[in-house]
Amino acid sequence: MFHKEGYKIIIITFVIIAAGLLAVESFVELNWLRILLMLTLLVFLVLILQFFRNPKRNTVLNDNHVLSPVDGKVVVIEEVFENEYFKDKRLQVSVFMSPLNVHVTRYPIGGKVAFSKYHPGKYLVAWHPKSSTENERTTVVVENSTSGKVLFRQIAGALAKRIVNYAKEGENAIQGSDQGFIKFGSRVDLFLPLDTKIQVELNQKVKGGESIIAQL
């Protein structure tokens, strides 16, 4: 199953690969070179297909749990000052996605979208300390009566050139459902209340819509 954001790119890639294979078969005479070029084209196709995959996730709905919004590795767990929306201290948990990870962004909690904003910006590497405030990014806040407000931020990386955000203020958000997509390597930051019980450790691998990041 592929994400809808990849349909156009996948079709274009299929056309290019088909044309490339035909050209190699027609014009490359050396057998070893023909095989090498064909394998290279097929590997490229596989990489594009795996990047836009959208596997089904078994989300267990729970208003006391904050789920990971993306697949990847936990790279930051620290107390910070969140200066865009809350303007106070929060616990930040960041998940880094490599180009090989699923890049679907999912709602970490259910509730109502209280805030959604896009920020144009730079394309620093996703693990750079200033990427959270200077890179292209979106900020989304979801609120419910049990969990209160949770902010999460999609951040473009050095390879990510487009962030897709479906969240609209006032709409209902279902925990674990699609909130957006980030094209190529990137990261997502979560900002949680200081008394939140973090359930993950640094360098731990997590799955979007399934792994419990924190208990509120």
Query: Are both 166 and 102 inside the same structural domain?
Result: yes
Residue 146 burial (10 A CB sphere; 0-12, 13-18, 19+): exposed
Q: Which domain holds residue 111?
A: 65-215
Q: Which residues contact 19 (CB under 8 A, 6 or more apart)?
A: none
Report strand pairing: 148-156 vs 111-119: unpaired
- Of these ranges, 5-9, 43-47, 65-69, 128-132, the one predicted with the greatest mean pLDDT is 65-69
Distance CA 152, CA 47 (A): 28
Domain membership flag for residue 18: yes
Q: In the structure, what pLDDT confidence band is assigned to residue 125 with cuts at 50, 70 and 90?
A: low
pTM of the model: 0.85
Query: Are both 110 and 12 inside the same structural domain?
Result: no
Query: Are both 81 and 9 inside the same structural domain?
Result: no
Domain membership flag for residue 110: yes
Domain membership flag for residue 193: yes
Distance CA 2, CA 22 (A): 26
The residues annotated as belonging to the active site are 186
Measured at the CA of 126, the angle between CA 62 and CA 95, to 5 degrees, comes to 20
Domain membership flag for residue 194: yes
Domain membership flag for residue 32: yes
